[in-house]
Amino acid sequence: MTNAMASLRDLDPQYPVPLVHEFLSRPENKAYLDYAYKDPFGCHVFPGDIEDYPLSSFFADMNSEIARAPQIHLWAYIPCCRYRCHFCQFPTITLNPHTASSQAVMKDLVNLNIKEARLWLAKVPSLAAVEVGEFNIFGGTPSLLPESELRRLVAFYKDHFNFFAATMRFEGEPGTLTKSYLSLLQELGFTKVSFGAQSFDDRFISGSGRMHSAKECIETIYDAREVGIDWVSVDLIYGMLGQSVDDVGYDMETTRQLDLSHVVCTKLHLEEFMKIRTGVSGERRSVWQKAGLGNCNNMSFPGLGKQYQMRELIEKNLKGAYREHPTMYFYRHDHQPEKWKGLITDLDKQYPEIAVGLGGSSKCTKAEAINITSYNAYKGALHEDRLPIQECRGMSPVHREVTAFKMALSTLSPVDNGVFKQRFEGKSFFDNEMINCTLSGLVGKSLVVIESDVVTLTPYGVTLVEAIINTQFAPAYR
């Protein structure tokens, strides 16, 4: 028996066998099983197929597409944390925010971010005029920034980009998102706040290396609402060390009781990020990887079977009150889905995205580029007055169609051929050999249905959408 199959058979007898268990057990579906067992982080990675794409062509493509785009997604990455979580592979600088030396580092981070943004504006002039649909400050832990530096960073972006219609979103950490800091965010124009709780159980919060409590998470949610920020998104992880299906059920019950507007439920990801080209790539293995994934501290990670039982329990608990769009991202039915995700993945949009910061990923339909992930190399590039781009890839015309279809599929919404034709000058997705061939196989495996030129994922397909996208249309990683 393979490791993947043994992991799939690790089930909690108190819960139903997951829907996809029988599907993944079949030998002919080994590619799906192997992908799910390795478990890269989501399916939100869509690399180009033309390697060593010239930067001059990339900037020209970006400038042209941004000039025509109704809106774009713009985000700034602040790579500092007060500690490193046990699952983290992101490029971050760990510091004590209360020391004078750390204050100097955070000032330097803002200086570098602003300098990089200025270089983007010089290389892509249309950036200054296009509407920013959503502006996100991501981390790391941006809420470590002192008030003066946060004000300076926000003032720069508002002064140099078109924020006329922009929604502003901020990512922080419960131990630093104090009520006074949330008030500052509200004053600066942020209407959305997100943070990683990972769980509402202190055992798993502590076990994942986090230095906050479940109580602090809940207090942050209520403090945000009290200062006028009703849109709060909480990140939860399932499949953590020692976690049971019951434990995930407790997190879902708490989510419903808190009446969260948005919640992200992510399956534990421990593949090296550089292999799979996530939005922010990493350079080092996580603490849990170093310790080994079999057993750690006399506890074990739940197998793939239990992880799918956890996934089904999440769906069951959130059904009715929440909808999923894209995969892993749940929004309350009386709210809207994640705006920035829609801007870059919805078939009728898929607008350009600009990322400023260490390891950021920027793209348009014709090309994409990923920033340097080494902090010293990142600083070195900016000190030489050049954008810190590590790799650039282009997309051939056929690959653009495939990528557009895959991105649309990741939203879990039906993919309408009529909308596709509007995107590609009347060309049907059935005219694309790779898409058409793949769809035939997916229909045969009951992963999608096609009716009236609309492709819809079945319940099997919704659960396995990441594996579908990353194994059926193209190699899983490059």
182-214 pLDDT, tens per residue? 999 999 999 999 999 999 999 999 988 888 999
Residues whose CB falls within 8 Å of the CB of residue 143, separated by 6 or more in sequence, listed in order: 170, 171, 172, 173, 176, 177, 181
Residue 83: predicted pLDDT: 85
Model confidence at 98, in pLDDT bands (50, 70, 90)? Answer: confident
452-472 pLDDT, tens per residue? 999 999 999 999 999 999 889
Task: Measure CA of the first residue to CA of the last residue in the chain; give whole Å.
Answer: 28
Model confidence at 89, in pLDDT bands (50, 70, 90)? Answer: confident
CB 235 within 8 A of CB 194: yes
Following DSSP, what letter does each residue of 20-85 receive, concatenated?
A: THHHHHSGGGHHHHHHHHH--S-S-----SBSS--HHHHHHHHHHHHHH-SEEEEEEEE-EESS--
* Residue ranges of domains in the chain, CATH in brackets: 1-10+20-39+397-478 (no CATH), 55-345 (3.80.30.20)
Alpha-carbon dihedral 291, 295, 301, 305, rounded to 10 degrees: 130
Compute the distance between CA of residue 205 and CA of residue 208 in angstroms, rounded to an integer: 5
Compute the distance between CA of residue 251 and CA of residue 247 in angstroms, rounded to an integer: 7
Centroid of chain to Cα 6 = 29
11-42 pLDDT, tens per residue? 999 999 999 999 999 999 999 999 888 865 55
315-373 pLDDT, tens per residue? 999 999 999 999 999 999 999 999 999 999 999 999 999 999 998 899 999 999 999 98
